[in-house]
């Protein structure tokens, strides 16, 4: 009950923020807007670092390995592959539109993108490196030192600047101009009748009480299995690990539904690959609704209209290491 | 002796092919030229497939994993990481300018890029998949089926078309406009005096008797350790495994030196990360020359002028899987 109240308040706030004069004011979903305050130099440096395998112990894993920008900002695996082919504990959430998230990681343990960016680098099961070692690597590379100086004013390379640049790049990873956003902003023909019906169901059934805002999610935590328990082998306990509150057990950040047709498999345990199956299950365990096949199809059709356009990006060219650069250690202890 | 004769003949042929009227006719190295006969639709499809992790059993490894186009077309590891974090047997050669190679792989066991492209997909130690399984995956994805139809005229997806498209993309991966090529084509100031001296040493010492042509290598096989044995733990035997000729033991394809400052570590065993050390060792074991530090520095300086420009490429967006797509199997047997 308490959770529902909190969500409703947030929903109301989001709706009001859009402004009464705008046509979309009454909708729970707002269009994705490209930020106009990006530091483009930081974005370019951050792009290099996002694709930089030398931020891992092995020299093989980069941010892009698990948040692949060719595949919706995810790896499309149940759980990710880390250093030494370790099996990750949880499904990799998309980096696209992640700036809209209330906090980062499924349990929200990082307050923002910058704090998140440092996590996988030092996680022994992911990139398995160390912040000071990562700094040592970049500091040995003149191409990076020069760029840090251009971007930040001095030639200092540190983890604060590394994560700042990655976070700024990630702020640029928004996906505007989906067919749904075209419809939202006035093109009545941008989505079909069935897709529109799916959207109406999405609202009337209650999906939108959690999946709202520009990212269609990401703005609240919610118990997974609100009405009926979610059956999973995954041991993740969710938000309780951060808050220490028993009420937060099995509570996870509501994932964005933007580009959801690309971000399978679904849920924090990555257990469901089929979008229809995911919709059907969510209606059952979160809303206590038994949907018909036709309703499921319509909602999925609506959800596929949320696929937007990632800004075209050229593949970064990374500056080479040299004889002073610490060598990668893919194998061995 | 026999090998030297063969190389000289090839060298002469290359020099003659350039045409006597051209200023570079007398040079053993010719400029990189962007091919003007590319099938651009195949290139675009091939780019997607090059970045496609679903061509691997795990759904995690793509061509770009070991031939990373952000880092000179290599992974900068001693030997590559394959399925299940297996340690590869040999250093990953660059995919850049690989269309100039006489054959593919270090031992030349694939006659061309198309034949090469099928190898890693089915290699249990690399992508660990199977050609028919790879076809099944792509065939299940409407976005791919449509593109195969546009590119090849019919909606058939098969390994022949997959490898054809990847090879055509790889043909586009040339790096023109290096400072050395600018100098070759008439800009006398494009390289420094020391770099020019390094180039003169490269020719007079005999490096250019193997490293010649537009790719500065790739056009012949040569024994590694011609004068003095090459000491390595790597068990690779080289060309003998293909030819069955004892004379080809420890004979490997001469690697391209284009972009060599980016393609460390060097040699088929990836044992040397430092370019100076590589130059020094090659002079010793291939040419019987004991170079001074100054000579080594000049040759390395020349070699760094061979870094060209990879055509800017936008990161491909890969079409999503669906409920009919076979799922990746990163873990388990």
Contact B317 A323 (CB under 8 A): no
Nearest to B298 by CA among B228, B216, B205: B205
How many other C-beta atoms can be found within 10 angstroms of the C-beta atom of residue B229? Answer: 11
Residue A113 in this model has a pLDDT that exceeds 80: yes
Which listed CATH number (3.40.980.10, 3.30.420.40, 1.10.760.10, 3.40.50.2300) goes with A2-30+176-304? 1.10.760.10
pTM for the full model?
Answer: 0.93
Could you read off the pLDDT of A8-55 as tens digits, one per residue?
444 444 444 443 334 566 899 999 999 999 999 999 999 999 999 999
**Distance in angstroms (rounded) separating the CA atoms of residues B9 and B213:** 13
Q: If you write DSSP's letter for every residue of A27-45 in order, what string do you get?
A: SS-------S---HHHHHH
**Distance in angstroms (rounded) separating the CA atoms of residues A214 and A100:** 8
Closest Cβ–Cβ partner in B59, B318, B321 for A70: B318
Instruction: Give the A:B interface size as CB pairs under 8 Å.
Output: 102
pLDDT at B24: 61
**Distance in angstroms (rounded) separating the CA atoms of residues B222 and B248:** 8
Same topology, domains B2-30+177-304 and B40-171? Answer is yes
pLDDT at A26: 86
The fold adopted by the segment(s) B2-30+177-304 is Cytochrome Bc1 Complex; Chain D, domain 2 (1.10.760)
Q: Where are the domains of chain A?
A: 2-30+176-304, 40-171
Residue B79 in this model has a pLDDT that exceeds 80: yes
Could you read off the pLDDT of B246-304 as tens digits, one per residue?
999 999 999 999 999 999 999 999 999 999 999 999 999 999 999 999 999 999 999 99
pLDDT at A22: 42
Residue A56 in this model has a pLDDT that exceeds 70: yes
Stretch B217-238: mean pLDDT? 97
Residue B17 in this model has a pLDDT that exceeds 50: no
Contacts of B264 in chain A (CB under 8 A): 320-321
Stretch A183-206: mean pLDDT? 98
Residue B44 in this model has a pLDDT that exceeds 50: yes
The rounded mean pLDDT for chain A is 93
Secondary structure, 3-state, chain A: CHHHHHHHHHHHHHHHHCCCCCHHHHCCCCCCCCCCCCCHHHHHHHHHHHCCHHHCCCCCCCHHHHCCCCCCCCCCCCCCEEHHHEECCCCCCCCCCHHHCCCECCCCCECCHHHHHHHHHHCCCCCCCCHHHHHHHHHCCHHHHHHHHHHHCCCCCCHHHHHHHHHHHHHCCCCCCCHHHHHHCCCCCCCCHHHHHHHHHHHHHCHHHCCCCCCCCCCCEEECCCCCCCCCCCCCCECHHHHCCHHHCCEEECCCCCCHHHCCCECCCCCECCHHHHHHHHHHHHHCCCCCHHHHHHHHHHHHCCCCCCCCCECCCCCCCCCCCCCCCCCCC
Contacts of A53 in chain B (CB under 8 A): 68, 71, 75-76
Contact B60 A59 (CB under 8 A): no
Contact A53 B69 (CB under 8 A): no
Rg of chain B's alpha carbons, rounded to an integer? 21
**Is residue B58 less than 8 Å (CB to CB) from chain A?**
yes
Give helix A142-152 / helix A40-50 axis angle, nearest 10°.
150
What the block records as the tokens of A220 is 């609240």
% of chain B beyond a pLDDT of 90 = 91
Residue A278: band (very low, low, confident or very high) from pLDDT cuts 50, 70, 90 = very high
The fold adopted by the segment(s) A40-171 is Cytochrome Bc1 Complex; Chain D, domain 2 (1.10.760)
pLDDT at A24: 61
Closest Cβ–Cβ partner in A75, A276, A310 for B317: A310
Mutation for B interface: A66, A233, A316, A320, most B CBs within 10 A:
A320
Could you read off the pLDDT of A228-238 as tens digits, one per residue?
999 999 999 99
pLDDT at B241: 96
How many other C-beta atoms can be found within 10 angstroms of the C-beta atom of residue B5? Answer: 9
pLDDT at B332: 78
pLDDT at A87: 97
Active-site residue identified among B52, B126, B147, B197: B126
Residue B230 in this model has a pLDDT that exceeds 70: yes
Is A126 annotated as catalytic? yes
Please check whether residue A134 is in contact with residue A161, taking contact to mean a CB–CB distance below 8 angstroms.
Answer: no
Find, in chain B, the residue whose alpha carbon is nearest to that of A79.
B330
**Is residue B76 less than 8 Å (CB to CB) from chain A?**
yes
Contact A273 B318 (CB under 8 A): no
How many other C-beta atoms can be found within 10 angstroms of the C-beta atom of residue B34? Answer: 12
Residue B147 in this model has a pLDDT that exceeds 70: yes
Residue B23: band (very low, low, confident or very high) from pLDDT cuts 50, 70, 90 = low
Contact B273 A327 (CB under 8 A): yes
Contacts of A315 in chain B (CB under 8 A): 69-70, 312-315
Contacts of A277 in chain B (CB under 8 A): 323
pLDDT at A23: 53
Residue A332: band (very low, low, confident or very high) from pLDDT cuts 50, 70, 90 = confident
Could you read off the pLDDT of B165-205 as tens digits, one per residue?
999 999 999 999 999 999 999 999 999 999 999 999 999 99
**Distance in angstroms (rounded) separating the CA atoms of residues B267 and A270:** 42
Contact A85 B85 (CB under 8 A): yes
Residue with token string 């002796």? B1
Contact A51 B72 (CB under 8 A): no
Nearest to A61 by CA among A333, A328, A332: A328
Q: Determine the distance in angstroms separating the CA of B62 from the nearest CA of chain A, rounded to an integer.
A: 10
**Is residue A323 less than 8 Å (CB to CB) from chain B?**
yes
Peptide bond into A53 cis (omega under 30): no
Q: Determine the distance in angstroms separating the CA of A10 from the nearest CA of chain B, rounded to an integer.
A: 32
Could you read off the pLDDT of B84-127 as tens digits, one per residue?
999 999 999 999 999 999 999 999 999 999 999 999 999 999 99
What the block records as the tokens of A90 is 């949880």
pLDDT at B252: 98
Please check whether residue A318 is in contact with residue A196, taking contact to mean a CB–CB distance below 8 angstroms.
Answer: no
**Distance in angstroms (rounded) separating the CA atoms of residues B3 and B122:** 33
The C-alpha angle with vertex B316 and arms to B310 and B321, in degrees rounded to 5, equals 150
């Amino acid at each position: 009950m308490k959770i529902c109240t909190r969500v409703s308040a947030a929903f109301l706030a989001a709706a009001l923020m859009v402004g009464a004069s705008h046509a979309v004011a009454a909708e729970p979903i707002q269009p994705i807007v490209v930020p106009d305050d990006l530091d483009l130099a930081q974005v370019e440096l951050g792009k290099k670092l996002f694709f930089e395998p030398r931020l891992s112990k092995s020299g093989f894993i980069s941010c892009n390995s698990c948040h692949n920008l060719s595949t919706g900002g995810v790896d499309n695996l149940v759980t990710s592959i880390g250093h030494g082919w370790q099996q990750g504990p949880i499904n990799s959430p998309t980096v696209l539109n992640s700036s809209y998230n209330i906090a980062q990681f499924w349990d929200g343990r990082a307050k923002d993108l910058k704090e998140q960016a440092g996590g996988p680098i030092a996680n022994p099961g992911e990139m398995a490196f160390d912040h000071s070692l990562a700094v040592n690597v970049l500091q040995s590379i003149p191409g990076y030192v020069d760029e840090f100086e251009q971007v930040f004013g001095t030639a200092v390379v540190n983890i604060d600047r590394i994560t700042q640049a990655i976070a700024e790049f990630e702020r640029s990873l928004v996906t505007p101009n989906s067919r749904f956003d075209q419809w939202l902003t006035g093109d009545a023909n941008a989505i079909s009748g069935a897709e529109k019906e799916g959207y109406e169901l999405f609202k009337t059934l209650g999906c939108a009480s959690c999946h709202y805002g520009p990212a269609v999610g990401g703005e609240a935590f919610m118990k997974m299995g609100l009405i009926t328990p979610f059956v999973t082998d995954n041991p993740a306990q969710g938000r309780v690990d951060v808050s220490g509150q028993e009420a937060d057990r099995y509570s996870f950040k509501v994932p964005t539904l933007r580009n959801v047709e690309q971000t399978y498999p679904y849920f924090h345990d990555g257990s469901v690959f089929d979008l229809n199956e995911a919709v059907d299950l969510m209606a059952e365990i979160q809303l206590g609704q038994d949907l018909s096949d036709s309703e499921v199809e319509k909602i999925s059709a609506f959800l596929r209209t949320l696929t937007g356009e990632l800004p075209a990006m050229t593949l970064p060219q990374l500056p080479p290491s040299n004889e002073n650069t610490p060598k990668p250690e893919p194998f061995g202890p």
